[in-house]
Structure 1
Amino acid sequence: MAFRNEYAHRKVAETSAKSCEICFKPSTSVLITADNKDFFYVCPSHLKDPGFCTPKIDQAAIEARKKKELEEEIERVKKEYEEKKKKKEEKEKKDKDKKDKDKKKDDKEKKEDDKKDDDKAESKEEVKTPPPVEDEEPRVFELKATFYQGRLKKKRDAEIAKRQAEISKRNWERLQDPSLFPSVPKKLP
């Protein structure tokens, strides 16, 4: 009958919203045990309350996510560096070719080319910036002792009420059976 004090946070559809177990406001957040023995609706604001529950953080998953983000950032920086290096080499090569072919080119044309290249580089850099990574909310929570004991008591009371209902139903069925009572004597004494 007892279940572990480890609840997973789930979201339900807006149409399935029910009242919060604590404040009775409609909520789409549900805390449920791993074995599905217990669940209850709760507001997301209560999940942030340290007096109600504490998040269980998976350190290995957080470290793996940070490592992955770091590797992606390194790859992005390497690509940017390679592109800048390649552009610089191309620019130097163009400049060298231009000097060899025509040394009489106007300064105005050079400045315009430099401005165009700078504009292109800036536009590419703006496109390549990755969106900020949102911090994920914790998915597993552990209730404080008082709330957990309350959940156990509620579950126990529900089970007792179910047993009593079964017993009273069985008794009612017995009372409806005519063979339960003795029959009326047919002979005179």
Structure 2
Amino acid sequence: MSFPNIYTHRKVAEGSAKGCEICFKPTSSVLITPENKDFFYICPVHLKDRGFCTPIVDKAAEEAKKKKAEEDKEAKMKEEIELVKKEYEEKQKKKKKEEKDKEKEAEKEKDKDKKDDKDKEKDKKGDKDDKDKKKDEKEAETPATDEPRVFALQKFVYQQRLDKKRQAEIAKRNRERMSNPSFFPSVPKGLP
């Protein structure tokens, strides 16, 4: 029974963790073939070892990711530019209002300046909080790791997996034969 040398990296629940195929430490990472014909537990550290396996990179997907990242950067820049423009316009409007207020009432100017300063400080704090929240949301949306998910085992490791699978099949066949009573020779019935 042969299967392709394409293994997908998957995670299982921590409660289902078993010993790594190489170092026997408990791990929740599994490499599995597409048709689920073969699987084994492996530490994520071993996946980075080029002597054990190599990642299979889909060039079209990589190019699409890069293009999408560039588009996202451009969109972010446009959003930031719009925010800066809005802030600038708001500041200009506030300045015009302040000038009109100064012209109208010279006596109340002192009181209004104090109130405006307090409002400005509150607005600045609110704007900073909004910007921080937006940055946190954007960071949360981006994936933490861009590790490859598909691997090809090195030749000798793949051959070991094939041999192990064949031995398991042979052992299963032998157990089935041994459980069948017709497998053993019958006792001679005639006299010698």
**Does the TM-score normalized on the shorter chain lie above 0.5?**
yes
Residue in structure 2 matched with residue 19 of structure 1 by the alignment: 19
AA paired with 1:124? D
- C-alpha displacement of 1:4: 0.6
- C-alpha displacement of 1:109: 2.2
- What CA distance in whole angstroms lies between the structure 2 residues aligned with 1:160 and 1:174? 16
What does 1:93-172 correspond to in 2, within 5 Å? 93-103=93-103, 104=106, 105=109, 109=113, 112=117, 115-129=121-135, 130-131=138-139, 133=142, 134-170=144-180, 172=181
Normalising to structure 1: TM-score of the pair? 0.78
RMSD across aligned C-alpha pairs, in angstroms? 2.9
- What CA distance in whole angstroms lies between the structure 1 residues aligned with 2:183 and 2:153? 44
- C-alpha displacement of 1:60: 2.5
Instruction: Specify the structure having the higher radius of gyration (Cα).
Output: 1
What does 1:170-181 correspond to in 2, within 5 Å? 170=180, 172-173=181-182, 181=188
Change (3 A) 1:166 1:100: closer
What does 1:67-106 correspond to in 2, within 5 Å? 67-103=67-103, 104=106, 105=109
Change (3 A) 1:157 1:81: same
> 1:99-148: CA deviations, max 9, x gaps?
23433445x92882655544443333222222174222211111111100
- What CA distance in whole angstroms lies between the structure 1 residues aligned with 2:10 and 2:32? 8
Residue in structure 2 matched with residue 30 of structure 1 by the alignment: 30
- C-alpha displacement of 1:12: 1.5
- What CA distance in whole angstroms lies between the structure 2 residues aligned with 1:148 and 1:52? 9
- In the alignment, structure 2 segments of 5+ residues that lack a partner are none
Change (3 A) 1:44 1:90: closer
AA paired with 1:131? E
Query: Which has the higher mean CA deviation after the structures are superposed, 63-72 or 22-31?
Result: 63-72
AA paired with 2:113? E
CA contact (8 A) 2:177 2:183 kept: no
- What CA distance in whole angstroms lies between the structure 2 residues aligned with 1:174 and 1:97? 102
> 1:131-173: CA deviations, max 9, x gaps?
1742222111111111001111111122222222333333x34
- What CA distance in whole angstroms lies between the structure 2 residues aligned with 1:62 and 1:88? 39
Give 3-state SS (helix, strand or coil) of 2:69's partner. helix
- C-alpha displacement of 1:183: 6.0
Residue in structure 2 matched with residue 8 of structure 1 by the alignment: 8
- What CA distance in whole angstroms lies between the structure 2 residues aligned with 1:151 and 1:15? 25
- What CA distance in whole angstroms lies between the structure 2 residues aligned with 1:75 and 1:34? 37
- C-alpha displacement of 1:181: 4.6
